[in-house]
């Protein structure tokens, strides 16, 4: 991988982190709940875990990988599910060819797929809206993207086309509706409101015909500062005082039906730059316990709880540590997986598959070997079907 490509990838992380650190000065106000002792770690029933991944040909290209070769190499590892995205801007420009190939290859190999549809997909810059579909006035900082009626209509049309194209592919076992829709993200910290998400969900259900489960995911609890930075409602005094507050997890759960999936994206260390200095922020120590409580709430409603992203790739503040990261490691991957399994999650998708392949090509197979070892340990997990 060339230095410009590394810089391009890390720059996206740094710009995203910039929005997060805008709330760092609020730490001067000591939140009361931080004075409380951490609650006990949650222990769920330990069962074999269905291990999956996310894959993006865009991210593979950033790392200098051949996307088709990368996909087939990952497919050969027999993950229980691979999560893909229909990238709207790319499809608008080049057609469905790249996604057609992956979906056909998955059908040939019997590889279950969860496909993300909508205007927001996997990876930076979060929203993949074609230039021709952008509102004439553009999008402003912090906007609810679905507030523009023409963009709503265009998005529903794109979702319809995509569902009709792939609904009869037997490899497709779930649809994901948008990606982290209730979290502010990207260079303008945009988000999507619940009413429009419900419209998308209704459209997918009407057109699918196979009663596939629908996934809505959220960037899950990290720590107070980062939670506030990504929350659609912005600063929430209730959370700072230690009370239950609105969250992307609860928003996602509210639009789902029985049998659907609430996806939780879990990171434990995030690098960022602030005032010219590199810093590392860590998740609160009670993060597994918090996730277990969300899992219990989901199951009480007859729905499923998955980990749709478990951190297995660096989130660094600068390019010089990308190949020798401070934010994660093969040992950290094993640790986060053990905590998620202990918290009772039976479906866990790792984030970072393209990075593992790149590291292996650079002579460091520890990352991909760690994932292979986890797969061997969970070989008894059931296959995923519609």
Give the separation between CA 315 and CA 320, rounded to whole angstroms: 12
Q: Give the distance between the most distant pair of CA atoms in the chain.
A: 56
The pair of structure tokens assigned to 182 is 């209730």
Give the separation between CA 117 and CA 158, rounded to whole angstroms: 8
Domains and CATH numbers, the chain: 3-37+50-377 (3.20.20.80)
Q: Which residues contact 268 (CB under 8 A, 6 or more apart)?
A: 282, 283, 287, 311, 328, 332, 336
pLDDT digits (tens), the chain, 386 positions: 443 455 545 444 444 444 444 444 443 333 443 333 344 344 545 789 999 999 999 999 999 999 999 999 999 999 999 999 999 999 999 999 999 999 999 999 999 999 999 999 999 999 999 999 999 889 999 999 999 999 999 999 999 999 999 999 999 999 999 999 999 999 999 999 999 999 999 999 999 999 999 999 999 887 767 665 666 555 454 444 344 445 889 999 999 999 999 999 999 999 988 888 898 999 999 999 999 999 999 999 999 999 999 999 999 998 889 999 999 999 999 999 999 999 999 999 999 999 999 999 999 999 999 999 999 999 999 999 87
**What does the buried/exposed string (b/e) look like for 190-199 if buried means 16 or more CB atoms within 10 Å of the residue's CB?**
bbbbbebbee
Give the separation between CA 162 and CA 159, rounded to whole angstroms: 5
Give the separation between CA 144 and CA 134, rounded to whole angstroms: 14
User: What is the pLDDT, as a whole number, of residue 19?
Assistant: 44
């Amino acid at each position: 991988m060339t230095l410009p490509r590394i810089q391009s990838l890390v720059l996206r992380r740094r710009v995203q982190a910039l929005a997060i650190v805008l709330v760092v000065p609020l730490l001067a106000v000591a939140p009361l709940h931080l004075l409380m002792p951490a609650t006990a770690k949650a222990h769920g029933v330990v069962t074999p875990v269905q291990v999956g991944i996310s894959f993006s040909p865009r991210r593979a290209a950033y790392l200098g990988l051949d996307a088709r070769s990368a996909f087939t190499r990952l497919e050969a590892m027999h993950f229980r599910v691979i999560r893909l995205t229909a990238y709207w801007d790319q499809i608008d420009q080049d057609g469905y060819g790249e996604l057609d190939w992956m979906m056909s290859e998955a059908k040939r190999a019997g590889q279950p797929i969860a496909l993300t549809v909508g205007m927001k997909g996997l990876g930076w810059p979060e929203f993949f809206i074609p230039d021709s579909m952008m509102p004439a006035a553009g999008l402003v900082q912090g906007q609810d993207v679905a507030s523009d009626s023409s963009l709503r209509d265009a998005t529903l049309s794109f979702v319809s086309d995509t569902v009709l194209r792939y609904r009869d592919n037997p490899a497709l076992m779930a649809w994901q509706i948008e990606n982290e829709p209730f979290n502010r993200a990207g260079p303008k910290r945009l988000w999507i409101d619940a009413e429009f998400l419900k419209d998308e969900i209704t459209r997918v259900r009407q057109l699918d015909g196979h009663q596939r489960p629908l996934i809505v995911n959220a960037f899950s609890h990290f720590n107070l500062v980062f939670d506030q930075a990504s929350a659609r409602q912005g600063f929430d005094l209730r959370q700072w005082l230690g009370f239950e507050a609105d969250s992307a997890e609860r928003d996602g759960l509210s639009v789902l039906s029985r049998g659907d999936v609430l996806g939780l994206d879990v990171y434990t260390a995030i690098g960022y730059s602030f005032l010219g200095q590199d810093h590392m922020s860590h998740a609160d120590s009670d993060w597994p316990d918090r996730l277990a409580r969300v899992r219990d709430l989901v199951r009480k409603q007859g729905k499923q709880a998955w980990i749709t992203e478990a951190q297995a790739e660096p989130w660094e503040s600068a390019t010089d540590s990308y190949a020798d990261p401070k934010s994660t490691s093969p040992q950290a991957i094993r640790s986060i997986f053990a905590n998620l399994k202990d918290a009772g999650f039976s479906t866990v998708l790792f984030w970072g598959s393209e990075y593992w392949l790149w590291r292996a090509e650079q002579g460091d197979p520890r990352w991909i070997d760690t994932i292979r070892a986890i797969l061997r340990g969970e070989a008894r997990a059931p296959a995923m079907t519609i």
